[in-house]
A and B are shown apart, each in its own frame.
Chain A
Amino acid sequence: MMVGGVVKSMTGESAQRAALGAGAIVMDVLASNDGRLYHEKVQRIRQLRPDMILLSGGIDGGTITHVVELAEVLEAANPKPRLGINFKLPVIFAGNKNAREPVKERLGEITDLMIVDNIRPTLEEENLQPSRDKIHDLFMEHVMAQAPGYKKLMGWTDAPIMPTPGAVGEIIKKIAEAENISVVGVDIGGATTDVFSVFQKQFNRTVSANLGMSYSVCNVLAESGFNNVARWVPFNMDETDLTNRIGNKMIRPTTIPQSLEALIIEQAIAREALRLSFEQHKEFAVHLKGVQTERTISDAFEQTSSGETLVNLMELDMLVGSGGVLSHAPRRHQAARMLMDAFLPEGVTQLAVDSIFMMPQLGILSTIHPKAAVEVFEKDCLIRLGTCIAAVGKAKSDQVMLQYEISLPSGIIVGDLKFGELKLIPAPFESLQAKLTPGKGLDIGAGKNEVLNTNIYGGVVGIIIDGRGRQPFNLMDNTEDRVSQLKKWSEETGEYPQLENSNV
C-alpha cells in the first residue's frame, strides 16, 4: 500500500507506522515535503498501482490546504487498483477532521473513500488503531478475497483470519506483558522479514518487504553488497560464483542446501537479511517526532531529542527468532550464532527460537485464550537456546573483556574472556547465579566498570560469552585473517563441527 502525510517525518511516519503495524507492505510515503514535484507524485501512484492508500495529514484544527493538496494529487492520478478492473481503489482518510469535506469532494466519487479518526489528533498523540483496523478489514476484503482458497478457509473457521505478521505480533506482545520484559522477535520468511519489539511497553512491528531468503534473496545481496555477505563465509568465494548461486536460489526458491558450503552461504545471507531488517526496525521504532518536551534543569546535560529509537539492546531481555532458516537450522548453535551476529545483543540477553513455526497460530489463540497461548508458547513453542553475554565499549586487542563467575549445577565456573574470543559454556535452562565483571571502560549492563550480579539461563546451546566487542563490532578486513577468525568462532561455539573435515 501507499501512505501519505503532510510532513514526512510526522504524519507521514505515523501513517507508515499504522500501515506496517497492520502488517502491510509500504511501497512509498507521499508527503508535501518529500521533495518530489507534483507530476512525479502522480506518476509514482500510477506506476505503483497499490492495493490501497492511507491518507493522513494535519492535526485536528491544523492545516487543511496541504491535506487537500495531497487529495488533489490522488485525484489527478485517478489510481486504479491492481486487482479487479471494475473496483474503485480503497482510500482511507485519517487526517485533520476539518479537511474531511474537501477530501470527500475530491475523492468521494473516483475512489472507495473511507474516513476514520485522525491518526495524529495532536502532535503529542498518535491514534493508530482506527486506521490499522480499517487497513486490516480492507486487506481481508480486497486482497485476501482474491487469494485462492480464501473463501473455503472462511467456511472452516469462526475465528477471525489474521495475516501472519499480525498474529506473530500478538504473541510477542502477550509474552512481553506476561513476563514484563523487553522483547525483540523476528520472523524471517521467503519474501519478507518481520521484526517486532516491545521496549518501554511500546509495541512496534515492521515488515521489511523484499528482505527474505528465497523470492527476494537477491535483494538482500543487492542491499547488503557482496562484501557484507562474504564476510560471514569462512572460506574464499568468487563473486560471480556466489552471486550466481544466490540468483539460482531466487529462481528456484524451494530448493534445500544439500552441501555444507551451500548451508554456510545461506546462513551468511540470513545474517544480512536479519541485520538489514533490524536496522529498518530501529529507524522506525522511535519516539514521536515533532513533540515539544519540557526540560528541567536535571535534563540539561541529557542530549535526547524527539525521534530517538526506542530500541535499546542493553535493555533487551529476550531475542526470539522464527522462520525456516532459524527454526530449521540443522544445529541450534547455528541459529544462536545467526541471531547474535545479526542483532549484536548487548549485556545479558536470552536467545530463543520458535520450534516448529507455531507463533502465528499462538498469536491467534492469544486473542481468544491469552493464558493458554502464553503457556503453550513457553512450554512447546519456544526452544530456549541460552544466553548471550557481551560487554559494550571500545576495547584493545588482548584486553580482558569480562571476568565471569557462574554457578552451574556441576559447580562454579570462573574465567576471563579476552577481546576477540567467543566461549560456549554448556548449561541447562534453569536460573543460574552469575557475577559478571566488565573489563576496564566496558559495560555489561550495570554501567561502565560496574559489576553485575544477576541470574542467567542456559538452554539447548548454553551460555555464549561474546568478547568480539560491541559499539564497535568489527570483523577483520584481511580475508585470510577473517577466515581463520570465523573458523575459530565456529569451532568454539559448535556451529559447523564438520567444517574441519569437509572439502569446503
Chain B
Amino acid sequence: MSRSYTPGLKILARTKIIKKRQLPMKGNVHLKIGDIVKSDAIVASTELPGNVQMLNVANKLNIEPENVPECMLVELDESISKGQIIAESKGIFGMFKSQLKSPIDGTLANVSEITGQAILSEPPIPVEVDAYTSGTITEVDDEEGVTIETVGALVQGILGIGGENHGILEVVTTSPSDELTAEMIQEKHKNMVLVGGSFLTKDTFEHASKIGVAGIVSGGFDYTDLSKILGYSLGVAITGSEDIGPSLIITEGFGRISMAVRTYELLSSNAGNFAAINGSTQIRAGVIRPEIIIPSERENGEIRDYEEADLAITDGSLIRIIRAPHFGKVGKVKSLPTELTKMESETLVRVAEIEFENGEIEIIPRANLEMILT
C-alpha cells in the first residue's frame, strides 16, 4: 500500500508538553529541578544593558579629543545623575572653565580620546521570564533558563500574531462555521481566551482589544485586515513580538474558513479551563507554529503524541485540502496512484484520489493535503 508523508498540525487532547524558558542573555535562574510552578511564576531574570547616549565632550568643552579623559570628573562605570557636572575644561590659568552636565541618570560607560566622545548608559532594563504554563521543572541550564514539563491539551494553529498570553478559555460561537462577531464579545470576556468559528473582522478584533480579551482563536482572518491591525503588511511569517492587544491564532488560513471540527471540539471540551496562548510563528527552516496549551488537572489518563509514521497518509486517511480549488474541504484518501498526473495547470505531480464527505471524488496533488490526526 502506498504511503505519503504530509505535514500536519498537532491537535492533541492529552499529551506531554515540554517548554524551554530561556533568558535572552545570561542572568539568574530562580528555581531548581523538581520544583512545581504555576504559569505566572518567575523562573529566571536578567538585566539588559540600558539605552546609551553619546556626548561629544571635546566639542562641548572646546578641547582636543586627547584631552577629554583628563577633563572627566567621574570614573568609568561610576553612577551619574541627571544635571550632575561630569566634565570640566582646564580653562586658562584656571579661569574661564567650561562645564558639562549629564543629560541622564545612569553610568559613565566609556570615554574616547580619539573621537572625544563620552558614552553614557541609562540604568539597565530588568527582564523576567515567567513559567508560561504550570508544570514541573525538569532541567536547569545555569544562568540561562529552565525546562518545564506538563501534561495537557495542545492545539497548534497555522499562523499567529502577538506573544504569550493566558486566561480562561471560552467558546463564544455555536459552531465551527460561525463568524465571531463584535456582539458576541462582552465585558465578562476581559482577560479570557476566546474561541470563534470560521472568521472575524478587523472591527471585531479591535472591539475585543478594547474589552481586554487575552487571546482569540479563529479558523480564518483576512490578510488585508491583518495588515491594518499590524500597521504594515506581513512579508514573512515571523511573528510574536507584536504589541496588538489580544494574541490572535488562526487555525486554518487566510479567508473565511471553518475551523476543523476536531480542533473546535477539543477547545470546546476545555471551556472554563486555564489556557496559555502564544501567537509566535516562524515559517522557515525550524518551523514554529502558534499554540494553545491547556494544562490538565487530571493525574491519570492516556498520554498521546505522534511519531513520524503517524504523518504518513495512506488509503483511508482523513485529510484536509490546503490549497484552492478545494481549500478547507475534508475527505478520505481513496487511493494513492504511483504515476505522475497532469493537473489543470499542466503541472505533473504525484496525486491522491480523495473522496469528500458528500461522496464526490477529486484528484488532488499530495502536496496540497494535510493529515488530520485523530
A interface residues (Cβ-Cβ under 8 A, vs B): 38-39, 42-43, 46, 64-65, 68-69, 72, 75-78, 80, 85, 102, 147, 191, 210, 215-216, 218-219, 221-223, 239-241, 243-248, 250-263, 328, 330-331, 498, 502
Say yes or no: is B33 at the interface (Cβ < 8 Å to chain A). Answer: no
Across the interface, which residues of A come within 8 angstroms of B344, CB to CB?
A: 258-260, 498, 502
Contact, CB under 8 Å: B367 / A330: no
Complex: chain A residue closest to B282, CB-CB:
A215
A residues within 8 A CB of B234?
A: 218, 222, 247
The answer to whether A75 and B110 have CB atoms under 8 Å apart is yes
- The distance from the CB of A62 to the nearest CB of chain B, in whole angstroms, is 14
Q: A68-B112, A244-B255, A259-B345 are in contact. Are A218 and B233 (CB under 8 A)?
A: yes
Shortest C-beta distance, B217 to chain A (Å), equals 16
Q: Which of B93-101, B130-138, B317-325 forms contacts with chain A? A: B317-325
* Residue pair A72, B236 in contact (C-beta under 8 Å): no
Is B115 on the interface with A (CB-CB < 8 A)? yes
Candidates A69, A77, A240; contact of B115 at CB < 8 Å: A69
A428 to chain B, nearest CB (A): 23
Contacts of A102 in B (CB 8 A): 114
Q: Which residues of B contact A498 (CB under 8 A)?
A: 344, 346
Within 8 Å by CB of B233, from A68, A69, A221, A258, lies A221
Q: Interface readout for B225-259 with A: 1 if CB under 8 Å, 0 if not? A: 01000001111110000000000000001110000
Q: In the complex, A187 Cα to B24 Cα: how many Å?
A: 35
- A77 to B119 CA separation, bound complex (whole angstroms): 11
Name the residue of chain B whose CB is nearest to the CB of A99. Answer: B114
List the 3 shortest-distance A-B pairs measured between CB atoms, nearest first.
A219-B235, A222-B233, A330-B346
Q: Is the CB of B253 within 8 A of A256?
A: no
- Chain B hits for A69, CB < 8 A: 112, 115, 117
Give which listed residue, B110, B255, B368, contacts A256 with CB less than 8 A.
B368
Determine the distance from Cα of A216 to Cα of B182 in the docked complex, in whole angstroms: 32
Min distance, Cβ A227 to any Cβ of chain B, angstroms = 14
Residue of A239, A240, A251, A256 near B283 (CB, 8 A) is: A251
Question: B159 to chain A: which residues have CB within 8 Å?
Answer: 251
Let me know if B253 and A248 touch, CB within 8 A.
yes
Count of CB-CB pairs between chains A and B under 8 Å:
167
Q: What is the CA–CA distance of A239 and B223 in the complex, to the nearest angstrom? A: 10
Interface string of B101-124 (1 = CB under 8 A from A): 000000001101011010101000
Q: Are B115 and A258 in contact (CB under 8 A)?
A: no
Q: B126-146 interface mask toward A, CB cutoff 8 Å, 1 = contact, 0 = none?
A: 000000000000000000100
Residues in B199-234 with C-beta less than 8 Å from chain A? 222-224, 226, 232-234
Closest beta carbon of chain B to A92's beta carbon, Å: 21
Interface residues of B in 324-374 (CB under 8 A from A): 324-325, 327, 343-349, 364-365, 367-368, 370
- 28 A-B pairs within 8 Å (CB atoms) are namely A39-B52, A39-B54, A65-B115, A68-B114, A69-B112, A72-B54, A72-B110, A75-B110, A76-B52, A76-B109, A76-B119, A76-B121, A78-B49, A218-B234, A218-B236, A218-B237, A222-B232, A239-B224, A240-B224, A243-B222, A247-B253, A248-B253, A248-B327, A250-B236, A255-B322, A258-B325, A258-B344, A262-B323
Contact across chains for B346 and A259 when beta carbons are under 8 A apart? no
Closest chain B residue, CB of each to CB of A331: B346
Residues of B within 8 A of A (CB): 7, 22, 24-26, 49, 51-54, 65, 109-110, 112, 114-115, 117, 119, 121, 144, 158-159, 222-224, 226, 232-237, 253-255, 283-285, 322-325, 327, 343-349, 364-365, 367-368, 370
B224, A43: Cβ atoms closer than 8 Å: no
Interfacial chain A residues near B226, Cβ < 8 Å: 247
> Main secondary structure on chain B at its contact with chain A?
loop
Closest Cβ–Cβ distance, residue A355 to chain B (whole Å) = 15
CA distance A244 to B7 in the complex (A): 21
Q: In the docked arrangement, what's the CA distance between A263 and B349, Å?
A: 14
Question: Which A residues touch B233, using CB under 8 A?
Answer: 218-219, 221-222
Contacts A80-B25, A240-B222, A250-B283 given; does A38 touch B348 at CB 8 Å: no
The residues of B that contact A65 with a CB separation of less than 8 Å are 65, 114-115
* A244 and B254 contacting across the interface, CB-CB below 8 Å: yes
Contact B347 A263 (CB under 8 A): yes
A331 to B367, CA, bound (A): 20
A242 to B314, CA, bound (A): 33
A72→B115 contact, CB < 8 A: yes
CA distance A363 to B172 in the complex (A): 58
Q: Are A39 and B322 in contact (CB under 8 A)?
A: no
User: CA separation between A253 and B283, bound complex, in Å?
Assistant: 8
What is the CA–CA distance of A27 and B25 in the complex, to the nearest angstrom? 22
CA distance A219 to B223 in the complex (A): 12
Across the interface, name the chain A residue whose C-beta is closest to B323. A255
Chain A neighbourhood of B53, CB < 8 A: 38-39
Name which of B24, B114, B237 has the most chain A CB atoms within 10 A of its CB.
Answer: B114
* Complexed CA–CA distance, A254 and B367 (Å): 7
Contact of B158 (CB < 8 Å), options: A43, A76, A252:
A252
CA distance A254 to B323 in the complex (A): 10
- Shortest Cβ distance from B336 into chain A, in angstroms? 16
* A38 with B324, Cβ < 8 A, contacts A72-B115, A244-B255, A260-B345 known: no
A331 to B346, CA, bound (A): 8
Least CB distance, B228 to chain A, in whole angstroms: 12
CB contact under 8 A between A256 and B223, given known A38-B54, A251-B254: no
A330 adjacent to B348 (CB under 8 Å) = yes
Q: Which residue of B lies closest to A265 (CB)?
A: B324
A210 touches B365 (CB 8 A): no
